[in-house]
Amino acid sequence: MISVGGLPPVLAQMGAIGAPAEGPGKRGAWGYAGPAPGLGVSPTGNLPDRQAWGPPYIGRARVAGFRYAQGMKQHALRGGLAVILGLVLVAASGPRADAAPARDDKDKLAPPPAVTTGSVATRAPGPAVGAGKAGGGEETIAYRATAGVLPLLDEKLKPKAQVFYVAYERLENGEPMPAGSRPITFAFNGGPGSSSVWLHLGALGPVRVKMGPEGEVVKAAGELVPNDATWLRFTDLVFIDPVSTGYSRAEDDQDPKQFHGLDEDARAVGDFIRLYLTRAQRWQSPKYLTGESYGTTRASVLAADIQSRLGVFLDGVVLVSPILQFQTTSFEVGNDVVYPLYLPSYTATAWHHKKLSGPLAADLSAAVAASEVFARTEYTLALMEGSDLAPARRDAVAQRLSELTGLSKAYILLCDLRPTLGQFTKELLRDRGLTVGRLDSRYTGVDRSAVRETPEYDPSYAAIQGHYTAALNTYVRGTLKFESDLNYEILTGNVHPWNYPQRNRYANVAESLRSAMSFNPNLRVLALSGHYDFATPQYAMRYTIAHMGLSAAQRARISQVFYASGHMMYVRDADRIKVYDDVAAFYAGGQPDERR
């Protein structure tokens, strides 16, 4: 159990991915329907209740070609030695030394890219299951880091926005590896409204935020340590902050709303990728996308868009804590499909907090498997009967739910066999005066009132927010040498209301991913899911994959692997390494181990 107590609510901390149980724009399972870190919001773009959850949003800073209205200073590239990891500042520009992106009048007002070099010791990836192996033992790899901005251009090459990115290239003998054989991965988080900080400094990059072995909070805020499981071992990396996140902003004469929507956002990120590939001369590189949470929603739309519109064919897509079908996470009246899909995560959480008994208490995998069987059979059938369910059958289902969730039979009957996420996270440890987290249900918190129906805040987000914010701001300016006085938007509400093209139905991008896989028979997909993730529960993704309408050959190109942690499974050391092993196997052409 990971405890975070007595912390105040934070804006965008607890929003439900789907619309709230009480309806759009009202308080739902987590108090309001708003964004969460790296997560999706309601497909209708609901905002938090400002009066109930703190001050109104601060107005959006406006930018004119990155001449910041709030005193942004333009800084020249500085020489000198960096402290962290022995990084050395070098004179260079652009993503690759041998193919520096051109800088013309259209983006001359943007800060110049800051380029540094360094090295990191990496571990040998674990063995792949199937045809491929990553190979190699432990080694120290050299890399070059570039922090800068690229413009989003209209057809007349007029900048519409400036997009901040951080790129890492592995070096051999001081030079980038051959572009034709070296993979390149474009990575981003979700929100909508999240920067790429979580994947960047949590799992993929050469440095990571220091946490305890299980993801516990450490005293030193934002301390960075070498990441021996960096993906830079097998792929170059480009971290993208979509418009209005990080340092990315729309130009002063442009309406940022043109970038704030399901399709609009994917198109903008696609345009960034095209320009980066062109300027860096990486068109012949194997190309991958990695998204987390709503970033997986973006990746699914993006894969279809850039392949059909831009001819950017992908080798693979990695979905970290995926959410493709929003109905699977929406606790709305009448949407009974959500309850069976959350049940295995309820079971896993109850197992972790020692609320199960008998054979279910012995083994996590066995308990989850039993929960999945009940969820897709007896539980689903019982919910379909509604009020026509016979009293004896209702009683039997409530008893089994009690055994699988750790909640009392009486409480489950009061919930009409339908405990919402907020009710479960408040009720499970009520006898101990604790709540459990949404992003990671291993974390616990303390509310002011023990008799509330739902928690005040998400202790799993409170545990990481400050550390990642401090680390990013220190790292970008102190190590990467990119200097800006603009606020780096870790997770912003300025992108809302987010535009979903769906009307009176749930957002569902699974069809976009299926289309991309059909369009490109070489495209492979890897989904990573945590057992303790209530934001994007693992069984919801299993359900989504099973309902994508894939042929047997297509189904063989998509894999889902599981971790004994939550939404950001990499905060747990053992799972950060397991992610590394699984993804290295995937890039090498092997089949990751899908066993729970």
**Six-digit token pair at 419?**
């405990």
- Count CB neighbours of 497 within 10 A: 15
pTM of the model: 0.82
> Quick one: tokens of 467?
């550390």
pLDDT score of 26: 31
Q: How would you write the pLDDT of the chain (596 residues) with one tens digit per residue? A: 554 443 333 333 333 323 333 333 332 333 323 334 334 334 433 323 222 222 222 222 223 333 333 333 333 333 333 333 333 333 333 444 344 444 444 444 466 788 888 888 887 676 543 333 334 568 899 999 999 999 999 999 999 999 999 999 999 999 999 999 999 999 999 999 999 999 999 999 999 999 999 998 887 778 999 999 999 999 999 999 999 999 999 999 999 999 999 999 999 999 999 999 999 999 999 999 999 999 999 999 999 999 999 999 999 999 999 999 999 999 999 999 999 999 999 999 999 999 999 999 999 999 999 999 999 999 999 999 999 999 999 999 999 999 999 999 999 999 999 999 999 999 999 999 999 999 999 999 999 998 999 999 999 999 999 999 999 999 999 999 999 999 999 999 999 999 998 777 899 999 999 999 999 999 999 999 999 999 999 999 999 999 999 999 999 999 999 999 999 999 999 999 999 999 999 999 977 766 65
Tell me, what DSSP letter sits at residue 128?
P
pLDDT at 122: 81
Residue 379, SS3?
helix
Q: What's the Cα-to-Cα distance from 387 to each of 305, 395, 416, 568, rounded to whole Å?
A: 45, 13, 9, 39
Taking the C-alpha atoms of residue 530 and residue 302, their distance in angstroms, rounded to an integer, is 24
Q: In order of start, what are the domains of the chain with their CATH numbers?
A: 63-326+480-587 (3.40.50.1820)
Cβ proximity of 204 and 236 under 8 Å: no
pLDDT at 595: 61
Helix (H, G, I), strand (E, B) or coil at 450: coil
DSSP 199-254: HIIIIISSEEE---TTS---SSTT-EEE-TT-GGGTSEEEEE--TTSBT-EEBTTS
The residues with which 172 forms a beta bridge, in sequence order, are: 175
* Rounded CA separation 423/236 (Å): 43
| CA distance linking residue 88 with residue 391, whole number of Å | 72
Give the model's pLDDT for residue 150.
96
**Distance, CA of 557 to CA of 537 (rounded, Å):** 21
Give backbone dihedrals phi and psi of 530, rounded to 5 degrees, phi first: -105, 140
Give the DSSP H or E segment for 148: strand 139-153
Phi, psi of 575 (to 5 degrees): -80, -30
- Do the beta carbons of residue 145 and residue 116 sit within 8 Å? yes
- CA angle (559, 564, 568) in 5-degree steps: 80
DSSP of 465-489? HHHHHHHHHHHHHHTS-----S--B
Crossing angle of the two packed helices 538-546 and 338-352, in degrees rounded to 10: 140
The answer for 80, left when phi > 0, alpha when psi is -120 to 50, beta otherwise, is left
Q: What was the pLDDT predicted at 475? A: 96
Q: Quick one: DSSP state of residue 378?
A: I
Residue 342 φ/ψ, nearest 5 degrees: -90, -20
Give the distance from CA 491 to its chain's centroid.
12
- List Cβ neighbours of 476 (8 Å cut-off, separation of 6 or more): 147, 166, 482, 488
Rg (CA), the chain: 23
3-state SS class at 436 = strand
pLDDT in the model for residue 90: 31
H or E, element range at 403: helix 391-405
- Token output for 332: 């709305």
Backbone angles phi, psi at 170, to 5 degrees: -75, 140
Beta bridge partners of 59: none
Q: How far apart are CA 9 and CA 269, in angstroms?
A: 31
Separation between Cα atoms, residue 533 and residue 35, nearest integer Å: 16
Burial 146-181 (b: 16+ CB within 10 A, else e): bbbbbbbeeeeeebbbbbbbbbbbbbeeeebeebee
pLDDT at position 101 = 44
Residue 523 Ramachandran class (φ > 0 left, ψ -120 to 50 alpha, else beta): beta
Q: Are strands 524-530 and 316-320 parallel, antiparallel or unpaired?
A: parallel
Picking from 315, 129, 349, the residue whose alpha carbon sits closest to that of residue 234 is 315
Q: How many CB atoms lie within 10 A of CB 296?
A: 31
pLDDT value, residue 325? 96
- C-beta separation of 323 from 40 below 8 A: yes
Question: How far is the CA of 581 from the CAs of 32, 150, 202, 396, in angstroms?
Answer: 37, 32, 15, 43
CA angle 193-197-202, nearest 5°?
A: 135
Helix (H) or strand (E) holding 399: helix 391-405
Q: What pLDDT does residue 49 have?
A: 29
Helix 391-405 with 338-352: angle, nearest 10 deg: 40
Residue 164 vs residues 272, 372, 462: alpha-carbon distances, Å: 10, 42, 26
